[in-house]
Amino acid sequence: MAQSAAVFSIEQAEAELLETNVQEQGLELELEKLYSRATHLCQSESQNLTYIGEQHRQVPQSIKKLQDMLLQTSGVADELSGRVRKLDTICGRITEALKFVDDMLELRECADQVMKTIQNEEFEQAAKYVSRFRACQGVLPPGIDDASIRVLKQAEEQLSVIVRKRFEEAMSTKDQASISRFAKLFPSLGLSGEGVKKYLEFIRHSLAEKCAVDFKQLVTLGKRADAGPTPYAEVLTNLFVAIADIVQEHQQAVEEEFGPENFVVVVRGMLLEADVQGLRVLDKFKADNSKIFEKLGSGMRDMHELSAVLEETALLTQRTHQFDSWIRGVAAEVIELLQGDARK
C-alpha cells in the first residue's frame, strides 16, 4: 500500500514537471517574441531618430532661406507700395482735375441760364443756379472765368432784391402760398437768417393783430352783457392757444425751408410776442381791478367780488404755467433734434 502511494507521487511529480516544462517553453517563446518586437522597435526608432537628427541639422539652413525669401518679399512689397502711392496721388490729381472741369462747365451753364430764368420769373431755378455758383465759389482759384462769375454775382444781387421785394409783398397781402414760395429761396441765396427773421416778423404781426381783436373785448368789458366770469384769463388763454396753433402750423415749413436750427429763432420770437401781449392783458387786469387790490389791506367786505378776482388771478397763473411747460417741451424737442443731427 505504501509502495503504491509512492508510485503515485512519482507519477504526479513527473506530470507536474512535464507541465512546468511546457509552461517554460511557452514563456521562452513569448520572451522571444517580445525580444523580436523590442529589437524591431529599437531599430525603427533609431531610424526615426537618425532622420530627425538629419532634419534638425537642416533647420538653420531652412530658416536662413526663409529669411532671405522674406527680405526679398519685403523689398518687393515696399516697391509695390511706393508705386501704389504714386498711383493714388495721380488718381487724386486726375479726380481734382475732373472736378475742376465739371465745376467750370457747371459755372458756365449757370451763367448762361440764370438771367433767362430770372427774366422768365423762374425764380426757383434761378436760385438753384445761384446756389451752385455759391458752392463752387470757394473751390475755384481766383481769376478763372471772370466773365461767368461777374454774371452770376450780378444775378445773385438781382435775385436777392426780387425775392426780398416779393416776400414783403406776399406778407403785406397775407398770401401764404407766395410767402412759402419766396421763403424757400432765402437759403439758396445765403440769406437764411434774414429770411427766417422776416418770416418771424410776419408771424408775430399776424399774432399781434389777432390779439388786438381779443384785447378790444377787455376794453369794452363793462359795456358787454356776454362777458364771461374770467374774461382776462380767456384772452390770455386765446393768446397761448394761438401761439400753439402757429407752432403746429409753421414748424414743419420753417424746418424744411430754413433748417431746424432756425426754428429755435421762431420759438424765441413767439416767446417775446407772448411776453408783449400777455403783459398787456395782465396790466389791463391789474388796472381794472386796482380798487379791489387797494381795499385788500383795509378790510374789504365784498367777499364775492374779491373771490372772483382771486379766482381769475389763480387761473391766469395756471394758464401761464401750462404755457411755460409746453413751450419748454417744444424747445427741448428742437434742441434734441439738432443734437441728433450733430452726432450723425
Percent of the chain with pLDDT over 70: 87
Give the range among 82-86, 88-92, 98-102, 332-336 with minimum mean pLDDT.
98-102
pLDDT on residue 75: 80
**Greater pLDDT, 274 or 147:** 274
**Pick from 201, 203, 206, 208: nearest CA to 281:** 208
Q: What is the pLDDT of residues 208-243, one digit of tens each?
A: 988 998 888 887 665 444 456 788 899 999 999 999
Task: Report residue 277's pLDDT band, with 50, 70 and 90 as the boundaries.
Answer: very high
**Greater pLDDT, 299 or 103:** 103
Residue 145: pLDDT over 70: no
CB 196 within 8 A of CB 262: yes
pLDDT on residue 223: 41
Q: Helix H segments across the chain?
A: 2-119, 123-137, 146-173, 176-183, 185-188, 192-219, 231-258, 260-288, 290-295, 303-343
Task: Report residue 326's pLDDT band, with 50, 70 and 90 as the boundaries.
Answer: very high
Helix (H, G, I), strand (E, B) or coil at 121: coil
Give the range among 51-55, 78-82, 164-168, 187-191 with minimum mean pLDDT.
51-55
Residue 343: pLDDT over 80: no
Helix (H, G, I), strand (E, B) or coil at 221: helix
pLDDT on residue 320: 93
Residue 7: pLDDT over 60: no
Residue 186: pLDDT over 70: yes
Q: What is the pTM of this model?
A: 0.58
Residue 259: pLDDT over 80: no
Residue 341: pLDDT over 70: no
pLDDT on residue 37: 84
**Pick from 274, 285, 219: nearest CA to 246:** 274
Q: What is the pLDDT of residues 44-62, one digit of tens each?
A: 777 777 777 777 777 777 7
How many CB atoms lie under 10 A from the CB of residue 189?
20
Q: How far apart are CA 14 and CA 6, in angstroms?
A: 12
Q: How far apart are CA 215 and CA 180, in angstroms?
A: 29
**Pick from 203, 113, 179: nearest CA to 151:** 113
Close Cβ partners of 289 (under 8 Å, ≥ 6 residues apart): 309
Residue 4: pLDDT over 80: no
Q: Read off the C-alpha cell for 315.
A: 387761473
Q: How far is CA 6 from CA 10, 20, 34, 94, 212, in A?
A: 6, 21, 41, 123, 152
Mean pLDDT on 28-46: 81
* Cα torsion 202, 203, 204, 208: sign: positive
CB 153 within 8 A of CB 130: no
Residue 314: pLDDT over 80: yes
Residue 324: pLDDT over 50: yes
Percent of the chain with pLDDT over 90: 12
Q: What is the pLDDT of residues 148-180, one digit of tens each?
A: 788 888 888 999 999 999 988 888 888 878 887
Mean pLDDT on 122-144: 78
Residue 260: pLDDT over 80: no
Residue 25: pLDDT over 70: yes
pLDDT on residue 141: 66
Mean pLDDT on 90-111: 75
Q: Vertex 258, ends 252 and 260: CA angle to 5°? A: 60
Q: How far is CA 18 from CA 6, 10, 12, 118, in A?
A: 18, 12, 10, 133
pLDDT on residue 6: 53
* Cα torsion 118, 123, 128, 130: sign: positive
CB 265 within 8 A of CB 200: yes
Please provide the average confidence, as pLDDT, over all residues in the chain. 81
